[in-house]
Homo-oligomer: A and B are copies of this chain.
Amino acid sequence: MTTPASDVSVASPPASKAKAKESVTCPMDFILRMLMGPWTTYILYNLRTHGPQRFGELKRRVTGISAKMLTERLRTLEGASLVKRDYEATIPPKVTYSLTQRGHELDDVMGRLAEIGTRWETEDAANRAMRAAAAELKAAE
């Protein structure tokens, strides 16, 4: 902990903001800073479920991402050793991205998050249905 009187620090304050002068050093800081990036989890999830893929393939799957973003995200993930980049200098160059072993260590957490997310979603849907029904009863009285 570099800042005084702070014993918690999980994500990062400026969150990829260039400043982050005294970047509080906490276990979750780095990892969340990584997963937090826009599109990041899409990409990781995709690489996990569809296996190693080429740039264009990935771009087609992660609907809506721009080449710039995808490149930038992949470079970041590569720098974090979560993704491996294989470059083949064939004439139309062929670049394949895959999860590294470290990248696969997140499978577990990702799955768990997905499970929680799904549960909440169904719970919320049930609650909404409940409230809608209640409102209808009230309106019909």
Contact = CB atoms under 8 A, between A and B. Distances in A.
Main secondary structure of the interface of A (DSSP, over half): helix
Q: Which of A6, A40, A117 is the most central at the interface, judged by chain B CB atoms within 10 Å of its CB?
A: A117
A98 interface: no
Contacts of A60: 5
A: interface residue count bin: 35 or more
Interface string A102-123: 1001101110111111101100
Nearest to A108: B112
Interface of A: 3-15, 24, 26-32, 35-36, 38-42, 44-46, 49-50, 60-65, 102, 105-106, 108-110, 112-118, 120-121
A26 B61 CA distance: 14
A112 B114 contact: no
Contact of A63 (B6, B29, B108, B114): B6
A75 to B, nearest CB: 17
B120 A109 contact: no
Nearest to A31: B117
Contacts of A45: 8-10, 28
B30 A41 contact: no
Contacts of A9: 42, 45, 63
